[in-house]
Amino acid sequence: MRSARFPLLLAVALASGRVRDHARRLAPAIVAALALVAVSSTPATAYAPVGVVHTERVKAGPYTVTVGFSEWPLRAMESLDFTFAPADGLAGKSGRLTLDGPGIDADDRETPLSRHPRKRDVWGLDVQALPEPGAWSLTFDIDGRAGHGRGTLPNVTVLDQPGPPLAISWTVCAIPLVGMLAYLAVGWRRNKPSERVAALV
Amino acid sequence: MRKAFPVSTALPVTGGRAAQSSLAVKVSRNGRTGPIAASTVLAGTTMSLFGISWDIQWHVDVGPDTFFTLSHLMLYSGSAVAGIASLAMVLIATAAQRAGQSVDRFPGGKPVRVLGGVFRAPLGYLITGTGAALFLLFGLLDLWWHSLYGFDAVLDSPPHIGLFLSISFSMVGSVIVFAAARDTRWGRAGVILSIPVLIVFSPITTKAFGALPLPVDPDLVGTVLFATLLLILGTLTIGRRSTALTIAATLGVLQLILWWFSPWAARVYADATGLPLRDNLGDDPPELPSGIPVFMLIAAAAITALLWLSRKRGWSGRVAPQIMGAGGGAVVGLSLPIQSALFGDSGPTSAELLKMTATGAVTGVLAGYLAARLAVLLREHATASVTKGR
């Protein structure tokens, strides 16, 4: 056993000496590479601006609101940004937004109009997903110096979700759970815990 | 952990004499290896829990998202820490066994042959490590999902549920690791700390059923099931009557810490990155901590009283855990709508209270049944001879 280990240890010792020499030479290059990665990845960590690719106009009494969409056409379950820009700015105005469409959660239906977190000069919704395809509507109730106004953007078409059918995605993601349950079932059958549970309490 | 790396040079070494000098053998015989590795895994799973709570609160209070927010990094790091510690323990166990050391009493649960005997993995570390490895795979799937759908619009997307399952596996592994050392003080303390972490985290996965037209919110059923099951499991595994109350008290402390931490971390991080808080935030309680059952001490008292009664009357272990589950589950079920009303929702009707109590009792029976049998499996193996007295 010792004779088999000696060459191995010798090789490890020699190799570790060489590795140290290489490491000394490589260290500046590694530091430079890491710095480059850090610098180049900085833009990827920045928060993306709100891109508006399509707009619609809604008349809410005395107010005109421009509704901006970050994607068009809209698809179910996508992460969407909406912007709501009154013609003469947000100053002195408040209001509520009512979203209506298939599958909407009751808690999400009505919300106060709030500034978009990444575009503070307009109201908006960020990372908002519309759960199901179909006809959706956005209703604005706005209060301001010109009084109260209500207007609806009807029949906003939401297409089917992108990507593979949900059943496939759920099946793939359930594989580990099924595997773990199968593993537990095998352990259960081998150890038969029900036979020994009587003396447990 | 550093000591684990030279293990690879010891892998080819076999035979009893070599066992005397193998580093892996020394590490495996060291009484500190078990508690250090188990604590590292628990630190990792706790990081995951705090990361998810922070991230959810970030979405509620602030909003903007990337793959590399600090809360995401905390979530990823938790799985990495738990996974690396588990991998190290599997490699040490494998190397020790190859060096001629018996690993039957190696910390972390019953040693399992993996890949036809290439590795010897203590069960707890095998499950924790598998969870961490799956987290990596689902992380890649999640990245692909975001390329199709955009960032984190919903919590219950298929890859997110896969990620939550993976973290839950790591947390289950952590409970197994500590349960194997239940004859030591650190083992029992670990069971009492690791179970509340799993009670808080495991119901998140039941959000996968949220879109189904079910008569009861699956999230609430999941909360009752996991909270009751894990309370009884901990009690029967350790075998002490006070365990349920201790676990419930620990859960309460964890809830208080998360209640403070999640909004604090979201706001400090928003300040640091120059992002504003959302308009119209109101005074809603923190999202994840307010979903943790707050009346668990009462449920634990019910379970403890029913355990005492079962022992006094000599009820069989075939029936008693289900009775404990029904009592504990009914209390948790009844408490959830009351808790929601306390935190700002509308007050529950008596019909709703009755429905949730009945749902809790039925779910509790199932929880008690499973908990007793899982406790039998956990009690199969103990590593006391290696770690006793620590």
pLDDT, tens digit (0-9, with 9 covering 90-100), for B24-69? 888 888 889 999 999 999 999 999 999 999 999 999 999 988 888 9
Residue B344 pLDDT level (bands cut at 50, 70, 90): confident
Domain A54-159 in CATH 2.40.110.10? The answer is no
Q: ipTM of the assembly?
A: 0.84
Give yes or no for residue B118 having a pLDDT over 60.
yes
pTM of the entire structure? 0.86
B10 in any annotated domain: no
Strands A74-75 and A147-159: parallel
Residue B161 pLDDT level (bands cut at 50, 70, 90): very high
Token pair listed for A91: 């100053």
User: What is d(CA A168, CA A177) in angstroms, rounded to the nearest whole number?
Assistant: 15
B4 in any annotated domain: no
Quick one: pLDDT at residue A165?
A: 92
Residue A23 pLDDT level (bands cut at 50, 70, 90): low
Which A residues 62-81 touch B at CB under 8 Å?
77-80
User: What is d(CA A124, CA A81) in angstroms, rounded to the nearest whole number?
Assistant: 7
Give yes or no for B287 touching A (CB within 8 A). no
B8 in any annotated domain: no
Q: Lowest-pLDDT range, A95-104, B22-31, B231-240, B349-358?
A: B22-31
pLDDT, tens digit (0-9, with 9 covering 90-100), for A32-51? 655 554 544 443 456 778 88
Q: For B381, which residue in chain A has the nearest alpha carbon?
A: A191
Mind telling me how many Å the CA of B207 is from chain A's nearest CA?
Answer: 13
Containing structural domain, residue B96: 19-387
Mind telling me how many Å the CA of A76 is from chain B's nearest CA?
Answer: 9
B185 in any annotated domain: yes
Give yes or no for A119 touching B (CB within 8 A). no
Give yes or no for residue A11 having a pLDDT over 80.
no
Contact B357, B332 (CB under 8 A): no
Give yes or no for B385 touching A (CB within 8 A). no
Give yes or no for A102 touching B (CB within 8 A). no
B237 in any annotated domain: yes
Look at A79 and B376 and tell me if their CB atoms are within 8 Å. no
Q: Which residue has the higher pLDDT, A195 or B152?
A: A195
Contact B280, B229 (CB under 8 A): no
- Structural domains of chain B, count: 1
Q: Kindly list the residues from chain B whose CB atom is less than 8 angstroms away from the CB atom of residue A97.
A: none
Give yes or no for B150 touching A (CB within 8 A). yes
Q: Kindly list the residues from chain A whose CB atom is less than 8 angstroms away from the CB atom of residue B169.
A: 176, 180
> What letter represents residue A200's amino acid?
L
Look at B162 and A180 and tell me if their CB atoms are within 8 Å. no
Q: Which of B43, B41, B38, B3 minimizes the C-alpha distance to B23?
A: B3
Residue A26 pLDDT level (bands cut at 50, 70, 90): low
Residue B198 pLDDT level (bands cut at 50, 70, 90): very high
Query: What does the pLDDT average to over B216-233?
Result: 96
Give yes or no for residue B213 having a pLDDT over 70.
yes
Look at B317 and A194 and tell me if their CB atoms are within 8 Å. no
User: What is d(CA B110, CA B103) in angstroms, rounded to the nearest whole number?
Assistant: 9
Segments making up each domain of chain A, as ranges: 1-46, 54-159
User: What is d(CA B121, CA B110) in angstroms, rounded to the nearest whole number?
Assistant: 8
Query: What does the pLDDT average to over A171-177?
Result: 92
